[in-house]
Structure 1
Amino acid sequence: MDLELSKQEIGKRLIRLRNSKGLSQDDLAKSINISRPSLTQIELGNRNVSLNELQKLARTLSFSLNEFMAKDFELNQNLGTPEEKLPLIEERISVPTLNIDKFKNVLLYILEHCAGKPNVGETVLYKLLYFSDFNYYELYEEHLTGAKYKKLPYGPVPQKLDSIINQMIDDNQLQRIKTEYKGFAQKRYIPLQKADLTELKASEKDVIDKVIEQMSDWSAKAISDYSHKDLPWEVTEDGKDISYNLAFYREMPYTVRVYDEDFDD
Protein backbone atom coordinates (compact mmCIF):
# COMPACT_ATOMS: atom_id res chain seq x y z
CA MET A 1 0.00 0.00 0.00
CA ASP A 2 1.45 3.35 -1.07
CA LEU A 3 0.93 5.82 1.78
CA GLU A 4 2.66 8.75 0.09
CA LEU A 5 -0.50 10.29 -1.37
CA SER A 6 -1.08 13.92 -0.48
CA LYS A 7 -4.10 14.94 1.55
CA GLN A 8 -5.35 16.81 -1.51
CA GLU A 9 -5.21 13.71 -3.71
CA ILE A 10 -6.97 11.59 -1.08
CA GLY A 11 -9.68 14.23 -0.87
CA LYS A 12 -10.16 14.30 -4.65
CA ARG A 13 -10.46 10.51 -4.81
CA LEU A 14 -13.02 10.46 -2.02
CA ILE A 15 -15.09 13.13 -3.78
CA ARG A 16 -15.16 11.07 -6.97
CA LEU A 17 -16.09 7.89 -5.11
CA ARG A 18 -18.80 9.65 -3.10
CA ASN A 19 -20.27 11.18 -6.25
CA SER A 20 -20.18 7.81 -8.01
CA LYS A 21 -22.38 6.44 -5.22
CA GLY A 22 -24.74 9.40 -5.37
CA LEU A 23 -24.08 10.31 -1.72
CA SER A 24 -24.16 13.79 -0.25
CA GLN A 25 -21.50 14.89 2.20
CA ASP A 26 -24.08 14.68 4.97
CA ASP A 27 -24.99 11.07 4.02
CA LEU A 28 -21.38 9.91 3.93
CA ALA A 29 -20.40 11.70 7.14
CA LYS A 30 -23.26 10.04 9.03
CA SER A 31 -22.45 6.63 7.62
CA ILE A 32 -18.88 6.75 8.95
CA ASN A 33 -19.80 8.55 12.18
CA ILE A 34 -17.94 11.84 11.74
CA SER A 35 -19.24 15.39 11.39
CA ARG A 36 -19.91 16.90 7.98
CA PRO A 37 -17.36 19.71 8.56
CA SER A 38 -14.74 17.04 9.28
CA LEU A 39 -15.55 15.28 6.01
CA THR A 40 -15.46 18.63 4.23
CA GLN A 41 -11.95 19.27 5.52
CA ILE A 42 -10.84 15.79 4.42
CA GLU A 43 -12.23 16.33 0.91
CA LEU A 44 -10.59 19.75 0.70
CA GLY A 45 -7.26 18.21 1.68
CA ASN A 46 -7.04 20.25 4.87
CA ARG A 47 -7.32 17.35 7.33
CA ASN A 48 -5.60 14.00 7.69
CA VAL A 49 -7.80 10.94 7.47
CA SER A 50 -7.07 8.19 10.01
CA LEU A 51 -6.68 4.53 9.06
CA ASN A 52 -9.87 3.76 11.00
CA GLU A 53 -11.75 6.40 9.02
CA LEU A 54 -10.31 5.09 5.75
CA GLN A 55 -11.49 1.58 6.62
CA LYS A 56 -15.00 2.90 7.27
CA LEU A 57 -14.91 4.85 4.02
CA ALA A 58 -13.74 1.75 2.16
CA ARG A 59 -16.69 -0.26 3.48
CA THR A 60 -19.22 2.46 2.72
CA LEU A 61 -17.88 3.37 -0.71
CA SER A 62 -16.88 -0.20 -1.66
CA PHE A 63 -13.25 0.31 -2.49
CA SER A 64 -10.06 -1.60 -1.75
CA LEU A 65 -7.59 0.27 0.44
CA ASN A 66 -4.67 -1.14 -1.53
CA GLU A 67 -6.12 0.08 -4.83
CA PHE A 68 -7.25 3.39 -3.37
CA MET A 69 -3.83 4.27 -2.02
CA ALA A 70 -2.00 3.25 -5.18
CA LYS A 71 -0.72 6.10 -7.32
CA ASP A 72 -2.30 4.56 -10.43
CA PHE A 73 -5.74 4.24 -8.82
CA GLU A 74 -8.53 4.31 -11.40
CA LEU A 75 -12.16 4.78 -10.45
CA ASN A 76 -13.39 2.62 -13.32
CA GLN A 77 -11.17 -0.28 -12.27
CA ASN A 78 -12.12 0.10 -8.64
CA LEU A 79 -15.83 -0.17 -9.34
CA GLY A 80 -15.39 -3.19 -11.52
CA THR A 81 -17.37 -1.51 -14.27
CA PRO A 82 -16.37 -1.54 -17.94
CA GLU A 83 -15.00 1.85 -18.83
CA GLU A 84 -17.45 2.38 -21.65
CA LYS A 85 -20.42 1.88 -19.31
CA LEU A 86 -19.26 4.15 -16.50
CA PRO A 87 -20.37 7.77 -16.77
CA LEU A 88 -17.71 10.39 -16.25
CA ILE A 89 -17.67 11.29 -12.57
CA GLU A 90 -16.73 14.88 -11.83
CA GLU A 91 -17.54 17.39 -9.16
CA ARG A 92 -20.76 19.22 -9.94
CA ILE A 93 -19.88 22.25 -12.03
CA SER A 94 -21.91 25.40 -11.60
CA VAL A 95 -21.70 27.85 -14.48
CA PRO A 96 -23.75 30.88 -13.50
CA THR A 97 -25.62 32.82 -16.14
CA LEU A 98 -26.28 36.42 -15.24
CA ASN A 99 -29.97 37.32 -15.01
CA ILE A 100 -29.69 41.07 -15.49
CA ASP A 101 -33.30 41.85 -14.52
CA LYS A 102 -32.98 39.76 -11.35
CA PHE A 103 -29.65 41.41 -10.53
CA LYS A 104 -31.14 44.89 -10.94
CA ASN A 105 -34.08 44.05 -8.71
CA VAL A 106 -31.86 42.52 -6.03
CA LEU A 107 -29.69 45.65 -6.14
CA LEU A 108 -32.73 47.92 -5.87
CA TYR A 109 -34.16 45.80 -3.06
CA ILE A 110 -30.94 46.03 -1.05
CA LEU A 111 -30.68 49.77 -1.65
CA GLU A 112 -34.30 50.35 -0.61
CA HIS A 113 -33.38 48.95 2.79
CA CYS A 114 -29.82 50.26 3.08
CA ALA A 115 -29.23 53.36 0.95
CA GLY A 116 -30.01 55.64 3.88
CA LYS A 117 -27.23 54.14 5.98
CA PRO A 118 -24.07 56.27 5.80
CA ASN A 119 -21.78 53.22 5.86
CA VAL A 120 -23.29 51.60 2.77
CA GLY A 121 -20.98 52.71 -0.01
CA GLU A 122 -19.73 50.57 -2.87
CA THR A 123 -17.59 48.30 -0.69
CA VAL A 124 -20.42 47.33 1.63
CA LEU A 125 -22.87 47.06 -1.26
CA TYR A 126 -20.61 44.63 -3.15
CA LYS A 127 -20.39 42.38 -0.10
CA LEU A 128 -24.14 42.44 0.52
CA LEU A 129 -24.63 41.29 -3.08
CA TYR A 130 -21.95 38.60 -2.72
CA PHE A 131 -23.36 37.10 0.45
CA SER A 132 -26.91 37.23 -0.90
CA ASP A 133 -25.84 35.30 -4.00
CA PHE A 134 -23.62 32.74 -2.26
CA ASN A 135 -25.91 32.20 0.73
CA TYR A 136 -28.82 31.54 -1.60
CA TYR A 137 -26.79 29.09 -3.64
CA GLU A 138 -25.62 27.24 -0.55
CA LEU A 139 -29.19 26.90 0.71
CA TYR A 140 -31.04 26.08 -2.50
CA GLU A 141 -28.33 24.97 -4.96
CA GLU A 142 -29.75 27.51 -7.42
CA HIS A 143 -28.40 30.84 -8.51
CA LEU A 144 -30.03 34.01 -7.28
CA THR A 145 -28.74 36.58 -9.78
CA GLY A 146 -26.23 34.39 -11.60
CA ALA A 147 -23.58 37.07 -11.20
CA LYS A 148 -19.94 35.98 -11.40
CA TYR A 149 -17.67 37.25 -8.64
CA LYS A 150 -13.95 37.77 -8.99
CA LYS A 151 -11.44 37.62 -6.14
CA LEU A 152 -9.88 41.05 -5.85
CA PRO A 153 -7.70 42.43 -3.03
CA TYR A 154 -10.59 44.18 -1.29
CA GLY A 155 -12.90 41.20 -1.47
CA PRO A 156 -15.34 39.58 -3.91
CA VAL A 157 -16.63 41.91 -6.61
CA PRO A 158 -19.50 41.13 -9.01
CA GLN A 159 -18.42 41.32 -12.62
CA LYS A 160 -20.14 43.71 -15.04
CA LEU A 161 -21.46 45.70 -12.07
CA ASP A 162 -20.18 49.03 -13.38
CA SER A 163 -21.90 48.63 -16.73
CA ILE A 164 -25.16 47.53 -15.08
CA ILE A 165 -25.10 50.46 -12.66
CA ASN A 166 -24.34 52.92 -15.47
CA GLN A 167 -27.27 51.52 -17.43
CA MET A 168 -29.53 51.89 -14.38
CA ILE A 169 -28.36 55.48 -13.91
CA ASP A 170 -29.12 56.24 -17.58
CA ASP A 171 -32.58 54.69 -17.10
CA ASN A 172 -33.20 56.84 -13.99
CA GLN A 173 -33.34 53.80 -11.72
CA LEU A 174 -30.34 54.88 -9.63
CA GLN A 175 -28.47 57.99 -8.67
CA ARG A 176 -24.76 57.94 -7.85
CA ILE A 177 -23.55 60.35 -5.19
CA LYS A 178 -20.17 60.98 -3.60
CA THR A 179 -20.00 61.39 0.16
CA GLU A 180 -17.52 61.16 2.98
CA TYR A 181 -17.74 58.60 5.78
CA LYS A 182 -15.39 58.72 8.76
CA GLY A 183 -12.89 60.76 6.79
CA PHE A 184 -12.94 58.56 3.67
CA ALA A 185 -14.49 59.41 0.31
CA GLN A 186 -17.06 56.91 -0.87
CA LYS A 187 -19.52 56.34 -3.69
CA ARG A 188 -23.12 55.64 -2.73
CA TYR A 189 -26.22 54.80 -4.71
CA ILE A 190 -29.75 56.06 -4.18
CA PRO A 191 -32.65 54.06 -5.67
CA LEU A 192 -35.00 56.14 -7.78
CA GLN A 193 -37.53 53.35 -8.13
CA LYS A 194 -38.65 50.36 -6.10
CA ALA A 195 -37.69 46.78 -6.84
CA ASP A 196 -40.27 44.74 -8.71
CA LEU A 197 -41.12 42.27 -5.97
CA THR A 198 -42.86 39.98 -8.46
CA GLU A 199 -39.34 39.21 -9.74
CA LEU A 200 -38.21 37.94 -6.32
CA LYS A 201 -39.38 34.70 -4.74
CA ALA A 202 -40.16 34.60 -1.04
CA SER A 203 -37.09 32.40 -0.46
CA GLU A 204 -34.89 34.93 -2.27
CA LYS A 205 -36.22 37.87 -0.25
CA ASP A 206 -35.73 35.88 2.94
CA VAL A 207 -32.04 35.26 2.19
CA ILE A 208 -31.44 38.89 1.21
CA ASP A 209 -33.26 40.13 4.32
CA LYS A 210 -31.06 38.01 6.56
CA VAL A 211 -27.90 39.31 4.90
CA ILE A 212 -29.14 42.89 5.32
CA GLU A 213 -30.04 42.29 8.95
CA GLN A 214 -26.67 40.72 9.73
CA MET A 215 -24.26 42.92 7.79
CA SER A 216 -25.72 46.19 6.55
CA ASP A 217 -24.57 48.14 9.62
CA TRP A 218 -20.97 46.94 9.31
CA SER A 219 -18.21 49.27 8.21
CA ALA A 220 -16.44 48.72 4.90
CA LYS A 221 -13.41 47.36 6.77
CA ALA A 222 -15.47 45.02 8.95
CA ILE A 223 -17.42 43.48 6.08
CA SER A 224 -14.28 43.24 3.90
CA ASP A 225 -12.37 41.46 6.68
CA TYR A 226 -15.31 39.10 7.16
CA SER A 227 -15.53 38.31 3.43
CA HIS A 228 -11.80 37.53 3.34
CA LYS A 229 -12.36 34.64 5.73
CA ASP A 230 -15.26 33.16 3.78
CA LEU A 231 -13.95 29.92 2.28
CA PRO A 232 -15.02 30.55 -1.35
CA TRP A 233 -13.02 33.78 -1.41
CA GLU A 234 -10.19 32.45 0.75
CA VAL A 235 -9.30 29.42 -1.39
CA THR A 236 -9.69 31.12 -4.79
CA GLU A 237 -6.58 32.41 -6.57
CA ASP A 238 -6.23 36.16 -6.89
CA GLY A 239 -8.03 37.54 -9.92
CA LYS A 240 -9.94 34.31 -10.59
CA ASP A 241 -13.68 33.71 -10.61
CA ILE A 242 -15.04 32.42 -7.30
CA SER A 243 -16.83 29.07 -7.69
CA TYR A 244 -20.30 28.95 -6.19
CA ASN A 245 -19.75 25.26 -5.36
CA LEU A 246 -17.22 26.26 -2.71
CA ALA A 247 -20.15 27.53 -0.64
CA PHE A 248 -20.90 23.91 0.23
CA TYR A 249 -17.57 23.68 2.08
CA ARG A 250 -18.23 26.57 4.43
CA GLU A 251 -18.14 26.13 8.17
CA MET A 252 -19.53 28.25 10.99
CA PRO A 253 -20.10 31.16 11.17
CA TYR A 254 -20.35 31.38 7.37
CA THR A 255 -22.49 28.38 6.52
CA VAL A 256 -26.21 29.09 6.28
CA ARG A 257 -27.26 25.45 6.26
CA VAL A 258 -28.09 23.61 9.45
CA TYR A 259 -26.38 20.25 9.66
CA ASP A 260 -26.68 17.46 12.18
CA GLU A 261 -23.46 17.63 14.22
CA ASP A 262 -24.27 14.89 16.73
CA PHE A 263 -21.37 12.79 15.50
CA ASP A 264 -17.96 13.00 17.10
CA ASP A 265 -14.77 12.99 15.08
Structure 2
Amino acid sequence: MGYELSKKEIGERIASLRLKKSFSQEDLAKSISISRPSLTQIELGNRVVSLSEMQRLSMVLGFSLDDFMTKDFLTYQSLKLPEETTDDAIVERISVPILNINKFKNVLLYILERCAGKPNVGETVLYKLLYFSDFNYYELYEEHLTGAKYKKLPYGPVPQKLDSIINQMIDANQLQRIKTEYKGFPQKRYLPMEKADLTTFKASEKDVIDKVIEQMSDWSATAISDYSHKDLPWEVTEEGKDISYNLAFYRELPYSVRVYDEEEND
Protein backbone atom coordinates (compact mmCIF):
# COMPACT_ATOMS: atom_id res chain seq x y z
CA MET A 1 0.00 0.00 0.00
CA GLY A 2 1.31 3.47 -0.91
CA TYR A 3 2.47 6.10 1.54
CA GLU A 4 -0.46 8.29 2.64
CA LEU A 5 0.18 11.71 1.11
CA SER A 6 -1.52 14.92 2.23
CA LYS A 7 -2.87 17.39 -0.33
CA LYS A 8 -0.02 19.73 0.62
CA GLU A 9 2.62 17.05 -0.06
CA ILE A 10 1.02 16.16 -3.40
CA GLY A 11 0.99 19.84 -4.35
CA GLU A 12 4.65 20.31 -3.41
CA ARG A 13 5.67 17.27 -5.42
CA ILE A 14 3.78 18.42 -8.50
CA ALA A 15 5.22 21.93 -8.19
CA SER A 16 8.73 20.51 -7.86
CA LEU A 17 8.34 18.31 -10.92
CA ARG A 18 6.89 21.20 -12.92
CA LEU A 19 9.85 23.43 -12.06
CA LYS A 20 12.31 20.65 -12.85
CA LYS A 21 10.73 20.31 -16.32
CA SER A 22 10.66 24.14 -16.79
CA PHE A 23 6.91 24.22 -17.33
CA SER A 24 4.96 27.39 -16.54
CA GLN A 25 1.71 26.84 -14.67
CA GLU A 26 -0.20 27.88 -17.78
CA ASP A 27 1.62 25.36 -19.98
CA LEU A 28 1.21 22.45 -17.58
CA ALA A 29 -2.46 23.24 -16.95
CA LYS A 30 -3.17 23.23 -20.69
CA SER A 31 -1.26 19.97 -21.12
CA ILE A 32 -3.48 18.15 -18.63
CA SER A 33 -6.72 19.95 -19.62
CA ILE A 34 -7.41 21.89 -16.44
CA SER A 35 -7.40 25.63 -15.75
CA ARG A 36 -4.35 27.42 -14.42
CA PRO A 37 -6.19 28.45 -11.21
CA SER A 38 -7.03 24.76 -10.64
CA LEU A 39 -3.33 23.88 -10.91
CA THR A 40 -2.50 26.77 -8.57
CA GLN A 41 -4.89 25.35 -5.98
CA ILE A 42 -3.40 21.86 -6.41
CA GLU A 43 0.15 23.14 -5.89
CA LEU A 44 -0.92 25.04 -2.78
CA GLY A 45 -2.54 21.89 -1.38
CA ASN A 46 -6.05 23.34 -1.49
CA ARG A 47 -7.54 21.02 -4.10
CA VAL A 48 -7.87 17.27 -4.48
CA VAL A 49 -6.29 15.77 -7.63
CA SER A 50 -8.49 13.23 -9.41
CA LEU A 51 -7.06 9.90 -10.58
CA SER A 52 -7.45 10.89 -14.23
CA GLU A 53 -5.60 14.17 -13.56
CA MET A 54 -2.81 12.28 -11.80
CA GLN A 55 -2.51 9.94 -14.77
CA ARG A 56 -2.21 12.91 -17.16
CA LEU A 57 0.32 14.58 -14.85
CA SER A 58 2.41 11.40 -14.75
CA MET A 59 2.53 11.28 -18.55
CA VAL A 60 3.37 14.96 -19.03
CA LEU A 61 5.88 15.22 -16.17
CA GLY A 62 7.32 11.74 -16.66
CA PHE A 63 6.90 9.97 -13.33
CA SER A 64 5.49 6.66 -12.14
CA LEU A 65 2.32 6.87 -10.06
CA ASP A 66 3.61 4.07 -7.83
CA ASP A 67 6.87 5.94 -7.22
CA PHE A 68 5.03 9.22 -6.67
CA MET A 69 3.12 7.74 -3.73
CA THR A 70 6.26 6.60 -1.87
CA LYS A 71 7.61 8.51 1.11
CA ASP A 72 11.05 9.16 -0.42
CA PHE A 73 9.89 10.11 -3.93
CA LEU A 74 11.43 13.59 -3.89
CA THR A 75 14.75 12.22 -2.67
CA TYR A 76 14.86 9.78 -5.56
CA GLN A 77 14.04 12.59 -7.95
CA SER A 78 16.76 14.85 -6.47
CA LEU A 79 14.03 17.39 -5.98
CA LYS A 80 13.65 17.55 -2.24
CA LEU A 81 12.32 20.92 -1.18
CA PRO A 82 13.30 22.74 2.02
CA GLU A 83 11.22 21.70 5.02
CA GLU A 84 9.30 24.95 4.90
CA THR A 85 8.39 25.48 1.25
CA THR A 86 7.36 29.05 0.53
CA ASP A 87 4.78 30.14 -2.01
CA ASP A 88 7.32 32.06 -4.04
CA ALA A 89 9.45 28.90 -4.39
CA ILE A 90 6.41 27.08 -5.78
CA VAL A 91 5.42 29.73 -8.30
CA GLU A 92 8.86 30.64 -9.61
CA ARG A 93 8.81 30.54 -13.39
CA ILE A 94 10.81 31.93 -16.26
CA SER A 95 9.33 35.41 -16.58
CA VAL A 96 11.98 37.97 -15.76
CA PRO A 97 10.68 41.54 -15.69
CA ILE A 98 12.71 43.87 -17.90
CA LEU A 99 12.19 47.57 -17.25
CA ASN A 100 10.74 49.46 -20.20
CA ILE A 101 11.89 52.95 -19.19
CA ASN A 102 9.80 54.77 -21.80
CA LYS A 103 6.64 52.90 -20.78
CA PHE A 104 7.39 53.46 -17.09
CA LYS A 105 7.84 57.22 -17.65
CA ASN A 106 4.56 57.44 -19.54
CA VAL A 107 2.66 55.44 -16.92
CA LEU A 108 4.11 57.74 -14.25
CA LEU A 109 3.15 60.85 -16.25
CA TYR A 110 -0.36 59.51 -16.88
CA ILE A 111 -0.99 58.73 -13.21
CA LEU A 112 0.28 62.16 -12.21
CA GLU A 113 -1.73 63.81 -14.98
CA ARG A 114 -4.88 62.36 -13.46
CA CYS A 115 -3.93 62.55 -9.79
CA ALA A 116 -1.40 65.34 -9.18
CA GLY A 117 -4.18 67.75 -8.20
CA LYS A 118 -5.25 65.49 -5.35
CA PRO A 119 -3.64 66.63 -2.08
CA ASN A 120 -3.25 63.05 -0.79
CA VAL A 121 -1.16 61.89 -3.77
CA GLY A 122 2.38 62.23 -2.51
CA GLU A 123 5.27 59.86 -3.05
CA THR A 124 3.79 57.05 -0.91
CA VAL A 125 0.46 56.94 -2.75
CA LEU A 126 2.23 57.25 -6.11
CA TYR A 127 4.41 54.19 -5.37
CA LYS A 128 1.32 52.10 -4.59
CA LEU A 129 -0.58 53.24 -7.68
CA LEU A 130 2.39 52.16 -9.79
CA TYR A 131 2.66 48.82 -7.96
CA PHE A 132 -1.00 47.90 -8.32
CA SER A 133 -1.03 48.98 -11.98
CA ASP A 134 1.93 46.69 -12.70
CA PHE A 135 0.81 43.70 -10.65
CA ASN A 136 -2.86 43.89 -11.64
CA TYR A 137 -1.88 43.97 -15.31
CA TYR A 138 0.42 40.99 -14.88
CA GLU A 139 -2.27 38.99 -13.08
CA LEU A 140 -4.77 39.69 -15.85
CA TYR A 141 -2.58 39.25 -18.93
CA GLU A 142 0.57 37.41 -17.77
CA GLU A 143 2.60 40.17 -19.44
CA HIS A 144 4.57 42.98 -17.85
CA LEU A 145 3.22 46.52 -18.07
CA THR A 146 6.35 48.53 -17.25
CA GLY A 147 8.62 45.66 -16.25
CA ALA A 148 9.64 47.58 -13.12
CA LYS A 149 10.96 45.53 -10.20
CA TYR A 150 9.49 46.21 -6.78
CA LYS A 151 11.21 45.70 -3.46
CA LYS A 152 9.48 44.88 -0.18
CA LEU A 153 10.18 47.73 2.23
CA PRO A 154 8.45 48.48 5.57
CA TYR A 155 6.03 51.03 4.12
CA GLY A 156 5.05 48.82 1.19
CA PRO A 157 6.28 47.91 -2.29
CA VAL A 158 8.70 50.41 -3.84
CA PRO A 159 9.69 50.46 -7.52
CA GLN A 160 13.45 50.13 -7.95
CA LYS A 161 15.42 52.74 -9.90
CA LEU A 162 12.55 55.18 -9.41
CA ASP A 163 14.77 57.94 -8.01
CA SER A 164 17.12 57.88 -11.00
CA ILE A 165 14.20 57.80 -13.45
CA ILE A 166 12.51 60.73 -11.71
CA ASN A 167 15.78 62.70 -11.68
CA GLN A 168 16.12 62.09 -15.43
CA MET A 169 12.57 63.35 -15.94
CA ILE A 170 13.18 66.43 -13.79
CA ASP A 171 16.35 67.21 -15.77
CA ALA A 172 14.35 66.82 -19.00
CA ASN A 173 11.66 69.17 -17.62
CA GLN A 174 9.05 66.40 -17.71
CA LEU A 175 8.42 66.53 -13.95
CA GLN A 176 8.72 69.00 -11.12
CA ARG A 177 9.39 67.91 -7.53
CA ILE A 178 7.83 69.94 -4.74
CA LYS A 179 7.96 69.59 -0.97
CA THR A 180 4.86 70.50 0.95
CA GLU A 181 2.81 69.44 3.97
CA TYR A 182 -0.33 67.35 4.12
CA LYS A 183 -2.29 67.16 7.37
CA GLY A 184 0.75 68.37 9.30
CA PHE A 185 3.23 65.91 7.81
CA PRO A 186 5.97 66.66 5.25
CA GLN A 187 5.09 65.41 1.79
CA LYS A 188 7.09 64.98 -1.40
CA ARG A 189 5.01 65.40 -4.55
CA TYR A 190 5.55 65.45 -8.29
CA LEU A 191 3.84 67.59 -10.90
CA PRO A 192 3.75 66.55 -14.58
CA MET A 193 5.21 69.17 -16.92
CA GLU A 194 4.05 67.35 -20.05
CA LYS A 195 1.31 64.93 -21.03
CA ALA A 196 1.81 61.19 -21.25
CA ASP A 197 2.16 59.73 -24.74
CA LEU A 198 -0.94 57.55 -24.80
CA THR A 199 0.11 56.00 -28.11
CA THR A 200 2.58 53.92 -26.07
CA PHE A 201 -0.34 52.23 -24.23
CA LYS A 202 -2.47 49.32 -25.29
CA ALA A 203 -6.15 49.81 -24.53
CA SER A 204 -5.88 47.01 -21.95
CA GLU A 205 -2.97 48.78 -20.22
CA LYS A 206 -4.79 52.09 -19.94
CA ASP A 207 -7.90 50.29 -18.68
CA VAL A 208 -5.98 48.62 -15.83
CA ILE A 209 -4.29 51.89 -14.81
CA ASP A 210 -7.62 53.74 -14.92
CA LYS A 211 -9.24 51.16 -12.65
CA VAL A 212 -6.39 51.42 -10.12
CA ILE A 213 -6.68 55.22 -10.15
CA GLU A 214 -10.47 55.07 -9.72
CA GLN A 215 -10.20 52.61 -6.83
CA MET A 216 -7.26 53.97 -4.85
CA SER A 217 -6.21 57.50 -5.80
CA ASP A 218 -8.40 59.12 -3.12
CA TRP A 219 -6.97 56.95 -0.34
CA SER A 220 -4.61 58.38 2.25
CA ALA A 221 -0.99 57.25 2.37
CA THR A 222 -1.78 55.23 5.52
CA ALA A 223 -4.83 53.55 3.98
CA ILE A 224 -3.13 52.55 0.73
CA SER A 225 -0.01 51.35 2.60
CA ASP A 226 -2.13 49.20 4.93
CA TYR A 227 -3.98 47.80 1.92
CA SER A 228 -0.74 46.95 0.11
CA HIS A 229 0.55 45.11 3.21
CA LYS A 230 -2.29 42.60 2.90
CA ASP A 231 -1.65 41.93 -0.80
CA LEU A 232 -0.17 38.41 -0.99
CA PRO A 233 2.85 39.26 -3.18
CA TRP A 234 4.07 41.80 -0.60
CA GLU A 235 2.95 39.75 2.39
CA VAL A 236 4.89 36.55 1.62
CA THR A 237 8.08 38.23 0.35
CA GLU A 238 11.05 38.52 2.67
CA GLU A 239 11.91 42.05 3.84
CA GLY A 240 14.21 43.83 1.40
CA LYS A 241 13.77 41.25 -1.38
CA ASP A 242 12.29 41.66 -4.85
CA ILE A 243 8.57 40.90 -5.05
CA SER A 244 7.82 38.16 -7.59
CA TYR A 245 5.16 39.11 -10.14
CA ASN A 246 4.08 35.45 -10.26
CA LEU A 247 2.71 35.70 -6.75
CA ALA A 248 -0.12 37.80 -8.20
CA PHE A 249 -1.65 34.51 -9.41
CA TYR A 250 -2.14 33.46 -5.77
CA ARG A 251 -4.17 36.50 -4.77
CA GLU A 252 -7.65 36.16 -3.38
CA LEU A 253 -10.46 38.72 -3.21
CA PRO A 254 -10.49 41.67 -2.83
CA TYR A 255 -7.00 41.82 -4.38
CA SER A 256 -7.45 39.43 -7.28
CA VAL A 257 -8.52 41.19 -10.48
CA ARG A 258 -8.88 38.07 -12.59
CA VAL A 259 -12.26 36.37 -12.85
CA TYR A 260 -11.87 32.61 -12.77
CA ASP A 261 -14.77 30.77 -14.32
CA GLU A 262 -13.99 27.34 -12.96
CA GLU A 263 -15.22 26.36 -9.52
CA GLU A 264 -12.54 24.70 -7.45
CA ASN A 265 -13.14 21.32 -5.88
CA ASP A 266 -12.73 20.89 -2.16
Calculate the TM-score normalised by the size of structure 2: 0.80
Q: Following superposition of structure 1 onto structure 2, how do residues 85-104 of structure 1 map, counting pairs within 5 Å?
A: 91-104=92-105
1:172 deviation in Å?
Answer: 0.6
1:115 deviation in Å?
Answer: 0.3
1:15 deviation in Å?
Answer: 2.5
1:6 deviation in Å?
Answer: 9.4
Number of residue equivalences: 241
Q: Deviations over 1:39-87 (max 9, x none)?
A: 6455235x5x66xx465653452452652443233569xxxxxxxxxxx
**Structure 1 counterpart of 2:88:** none
Which AA in structure 1 matches 2:137?
A: Y
Calculate the TM-score normalised by the size of structure 1: 0.80
Q: Deviations over 1:109-154 (max 9, x none)?
A: 0000000000000000000000000111111111111100000010
Q: Deviations over 1:198-221 (max 9, x none)?
A: 111111100000000000000111
- Structure 2 alignment gaps of length 5 or more: 59-63, 79-90
CA contact (8 A) 2:7 2:42 kept: no
1:13 deviation in Å?
Answer: 1.8
**Structure 2 counterpart of 1:155:** 156
**Structure 2 counterpart of 1:210:** 211
Residues 29 and 205 of structure 1, relative CA distance in 2, 3 Å threshold: closer
SS in 2 for 1:28: coil
Alpha-carbon distance in structure 1 between the residues aligned to 2:263 and 2:95: 30
CA contact (8 A) 2:32 2:57 kept: no
CA contact (8 A) 1:5 1:69 kept: no
SS in 1 for 2:98: coil
CA contact (8 A) 1:99 1:146 kept: yes
**Structure 2 counterpart of 1:22:** 28
Alpha-carbon distance in structure 2 between the residues aligned to 1:66 and 1:230: 38
CA contact (8 A) 1:17 1:61 kept: no
Q: Following superposition of structure 1 onto structure 2, how do residues 147-186 of structure 1 map, counting pairs within 5 Å?
A: 147-186=148-187
**Structure 1 counterpart of 2:222:** 221
**Structure 2 counterpart of 1:43:** 43
**Structure 1 counterpart of 2:54:** 58
CA contact (8 A) 1:58 1:65 kept: no
Which ranges of 4 or more aligned residues in structure 1 deviate by more than 6 Å? none
Alpha-carbon distance in structure 1 between the residues aligned to 2:161 and 2:231: 22
SS in 1 for 2:34: helix
Which AA in structure 2 matches 1:22?
A: L
Which stretch of structure 1 is more off in the superposition, 17-26 or 209-218? 17-26
SS in 1 for 2:73: coil
Which AA in structure 1 matches 2:129?
A: L
Alpha-carbon distance in structure 2 between the residues aligned to 1:163 and 1:184: 25
Which AA in structure 1 matches 2:104?
A: F
Alpha-carbon distance in structure 2 between the residues aligned to 1:156 and 1:212: 17
Alpha-carbon distance in structure 2 between the residues aligned to 1:166 and 1:26: 49
Residues 3 and 253 of structure 1, relative CA distance in 2, 3 Å threshold: same
1:178 deviation in Å?
Answer: 1.0
CA contact (8 A) 2:116 2:190 kept: yes
- Structure 1 alignment gaps of length 5 or more: 31-35, 77-89
Alpha-carbon distance in structure 2 between the residues aligned to 1:27 and 1:121: 47
Instruction: Kindly report the root-mean-square deviation, in angstroms, between the aligned alpha carbons of the 2 structures.
Output: 2.8
Alpha-carbon distance in structure 1 between the residues aligned to 2:263 and 2:152: 35
Which AA in structure 1 matches 2:217?
A: S
CA contact (8 A) 1:174 1:192 kept: yes
